[in-house]
Homo-oligomer: A and B are copies of this chain.
Amino acid sequence: MRTRPLKVALLGCGVVGSEVTRIMTTHADDLAQRIGAPVELAGVAVRRPSKVREGIDPSLVTTDATALVKRGDIDVVVEVIGGIEPARSLITTAFEHGASVVSANKALLAQDGAALHAAAEEHGRDLYYEAAVAGAIPLIRPLRESLAGDKVNRVLGIVNGTTNFILDKMDSTGAGYQEALDEATALGYAEADPTADVEGFDAAAKAAILAGIAFHTRVRLDDVYREGMAEVTAADFRSAKEMGCTIKLLAICERAADGESVTARVHPAMIPLTHPLASVRGAYNAVFVESDAAGQLMFYGPGAGGAPTASAVLGDLVAVCRNRLNGATGPGESSYAALPVSPMGEVVTRYHISLDVADKPGVLAQVATVFAEHGVSIDTVRQQGKDGEASLVVVTHRASDASLTGTVEALRKLDTVRGVASIMRVEGE
């Protein structure tokens, strides 16, 4: 084993960063054995240097992150700051000064992954980011390496623990959205401003990264269709139960049936209770992958938290250090397929639609005509009437999202349709 240590610079020392340093210290011997050389923490860039950081030599702490990544003797930069800047500039500078990079930054990777990969390749360095998607769950390495000889057709994931906690709570207790969100906030599962989670921004960033890797195609955050889950109601869960379903906020990356394009989207959807994703409880994450040869795979685990994210960071750190000792780099970005990303309208899916309608003869015929005119075939209809009011629950067969949207718009214009109570896509069948 080489005795000269590999030098690691840590950018950011919050929940994840401090866990990374803790494991680097307590498992130093194990890491050295697995890498083939010891690793040494050479510097820690923070915003508040006065904060006491247990187990970290104060002389390593600096507020000048740029100087740290420019030192020239750093082998690996671990970036756990998050956000776009200064993380992006620091990573680029790190490559320019000879370091490889391990990042947990999903927002940055989703937005600027292509440019960062290009910078890594230009300088012959590694860019690894297992922790950016679904925390500790090994996902990027299995997709990029284990399935490298296979053809992935669909990735269906619960990739945000906060929203899964809320939806699971609504499902199991019958609570409304606000009540479940309040509980998630009280328990620390949701942030004070939960927008990034409940509006699906966080999941959309992960969907962009997953789609890119799964389909060997660049998928940008802007390419991902996104709907939040704030409008999911207790009534939706009752409807879902009647269909033998539950509701999850899903990140869905699909190859079109002809194989010539891909789509990526995030929205709440009904999935059958028999689907392996339906039983993913609490703040856990899980990603379901369908491929030509392997069939159906699922990866399950904690999607966030300091220690789980640190586990993913350290797995990458070991790989990058090994590559460095070998004078090699791991697999970089693979975007050779360069498939076009189709808009949401071209996604083929099913709808579950609840309509409030007038309780009089001929309404169903009118409604059915609208579906037919838009080329949307109906799977089942259920009518319930009371006191001159009635509800109509329609579940469609598979159709393009554009046709389904057009159908709903036309339904809203019917005099006999008093309102569209809910629209929910049905997935995972």
Using CB atoms and an 8 Å cutoff, list the residues of chain A in contact with chain B. Answer: 19, 23, 27, 30-31, 33-34, 130, 136-138, 141-142, 145-151, 216, 276, 279, 291-302, 305, 307-308, 310-319, 322, 326-329, 331, 334, 336-337
Contact between A147 and B311 (Cβ–Cβ < 8 Å)? yes
Distance in angstroms from A292 CB to nearest chain B CB is 8
Task: Return chain B residues, CB-CB under 8 Å to A311.
Answer: 147, 149-150, 291-294
Pairs A-B, 5 closest by C-beta atoms: A149-B314, A138-B146, A136-B294, A293-B311, A148-B318
Contact between B279 and A295 (Cβ–Cβ < 8 Å)? no
Contact between B298 and A151 (Cβ–Cβ < 8 Å)? no
As for how many copies of this chain the complex holds, the number is 2
Task: Return chain B residues, CB-CB under 8 Å to A138.
Answer: 138, 141-142, 145-147, 297
Contact between B334 and A33 (Cβ–Cβ < 8 Å)? yes
Distance in angstroms from A346 CB to nearest chain B CB is 23
Given contacts A276-B279, A319-B145, contact A298 B297 (CB under 8 A): no
The CA of A301 and the CA of B30, in the complex, are separated in Å by 30
The CA of A336 and the CA of B31, in the complex, are separated in Å by 11
The CA of A141 and the CA of B145, in the complex, are separated in Å by 8
Task: Return chain B residues, CB-CB under 8 Å to A313.
Answer: 149
Contact between A301 and B296 (Cβ–Cβ < 8 Å)? yes
The CA of A141 and the CA of B139, in the complex, are separated in Å by 11
Task: Return chain B residues, CB-CB under 8 Å to A331.
Answer: 34, 322
Task: Return chain B residues, CB-CB under 8 Å to A149.
Answer: 23, 27, 31, 34, 310-311, 313-318
Closest to A329 in B: B326
Contact of A148 among B300, B307, B315 (CB under 8 A): B315
Closest to A34 in B: B148
Given contacts A141-B141, A301-B294, A301-B297, contact A27 B317 (CB under 8 A): no
Contact between B312 and A295 (Cβ–Cβ < 8 Å)? no
Task: Return chain B residues, CB-CB under 8 Å to A314.
Answer: 148-150, 293
Contact of A293 among B31, B307, B322, B327 (CB under 8 A): B307
Task: Return chain B residues, CB-CB under 8 Å to A216.
Answer: 30, 33-34
Apart from A141-B145, A294-B307, A294-B308, what are 9 other A-B pairs with CB-CB below 8 Å? A19-B293, A30-B216, A34-B149, A138-B138, A148-B315, A276-B300, A291-B311, A293-B308, A326-B326
The CA of A180 and the CA of B216, in the complex, are separated in Å by 43
Task: Return chain B residues, CB-CB under 8 Å to A141.
Answer: 138, 141-142, 145-146
Closest to A326 in B: B328
Closest to A36 in B: B331
Closest to A276 in B: B300
Task: Return chain B residues, CB-CB under 8 Å to A315.
Answer: 145-150
Distance in angstroms from A144 CB to nearest chain B CB is 9
